[in-house]
A = this chain, B = another copy of it.
Amino acid sequence: MKDIGVGLIGTGFMGKCHALAWRSVGGVFAEAGRPRLVHLGEANAELARTRAAEFGFEKASGDWRAVIEDPGVDVVSLTTPNKFHAEMATAALEAGKHLWCEKPMAPTFAEAEAMAAAARKAGTVAILGYNYIQSPAIRQIGALLAEGRIGTLNHLRIEMDEDFMADPHAPFGWRHDAASGYGALDDFAVHPLSLIAVLFGRVARVVCDMAKPHAERITASGEARAVETWDIASVLMRLESGLSATLQVNRAAWGRKGRICVQIFGSEGTILFDQERFNEFQLYLTSDRPEEQGFRTVLIGPQHQPYSSFVPAPGHGLGFNDLKIIECRELIARIGGDIGARLIGFDEGLEIERTVHAMARSHQEGGWVDVR
């Protein structure tokens, strides 16, 4: 395979994260080849040039279309705010590019559907940046579930909490505007749903209740404005498999910085995971001697793939940016024809969005709602 040519649109949190992944992936994973950082697009030419210099891209443009049309670009990393996704993603796909689009897909389900349709039509690889599915711990958990290590599953709980919307004195911002979506559902719930998609399958039915910790906030002009989005959502779910599950998200949870707490209960054991300590997971097995049964805290190491590509010795710990490097490796593998690569494609991503919209509908209608 020839070395892949990379275009990057957007250079915020996720833009930098993609750039770092593209720079490192070949050093970490020899099989990933040597991607070329070809063309970077930003809102204006000057910013584009600055970032291109920092991130090591060859070319820079103030017009994202130049990136998409660049014949040297094979794959586009799309990391702009999600209201721009539909237009840019569709254009990139129509230009025959592979696409690595940050989550979530788009504010409306119709836009997300259009994006998925465009991907199907283009036939290129189009994936979403659900990086939490990439960690060695989550992979190991997947392997344990596939093996039936904790028996038949009987219940699942997932919580995702952060505190960036917790401060009552923070001003009114775009995330408080209904135009940004529902709130925590768009921001957070999609992440746990990506784990559910990979580990447990589709969601069938939901009942959801949302809450607003802060009824109003002060705008830049000094007036109080009603907050239109919900920072808290709690959901009861049934999966298509019949598994009973709950999902709870709170972006106003003081003290929580990046928690995604997963509890999986089975007939022969229990698995626990928390993204705040994603280099560990916990496992309880009934096959242990009775007087020794307890939750093992398993530290990720070389026996959990693909940890050893980063560090050969155990206990050294991966970082968040390393998850994006793994995702990048999977993307390159998929582009190279590996259909087993671990990724959330546009069709799977569309299912996640469908579920989120069903949750919001349940809140509005006040009862159980079928996802499909």
Contacts and interface: CB of A to CB of B under 8 A. Distances in A.
B34 A56 contact: yes
A162 B296 CA distance: 17
Nearest to A210: B244
What is the size category of the interface that chain A forms with chain B? 35 or more
Q: Assembly of this chain: how many copies?
A: 4
Contacts of A143: 291
Interface of A: 13, 16-17, 19-20, 23-24, 26-28, 30, 34, 53-56, 140, 143, 150-152, 154-155, 157, 159, 162, 164, 166-168, 207-209, 211, 213-214, 231-232, 234-236, 238, 244, 246, 248, 250, 252-259, 265-270, 276-280, 282-286, 288, 290-299, 301, 303-304, 310-322, 366-368
Contacts of A322: 319, 321
B284 A270 contact: no
A370 to B, nearest CB: 12
Contacts of A317: 258, 276, 278-279, 317-320
A19 to B, nearest CB: 6
Q: Which DSSP category, helix, strand, loop or mixed, fits chain A's interface?
A: mixed
Contact of A213 (B154, B207, B252, B319): B154
Given A236-B234, A297-B297, A299-B257, A19 B23 contact: no
Given A311-B320, A314-B257, A368-B366, A232 B298 contact: no
A232 B314 contact: no
Contact of A295 (B151, B236, B297): B297
A246 B258 CA distance: 21
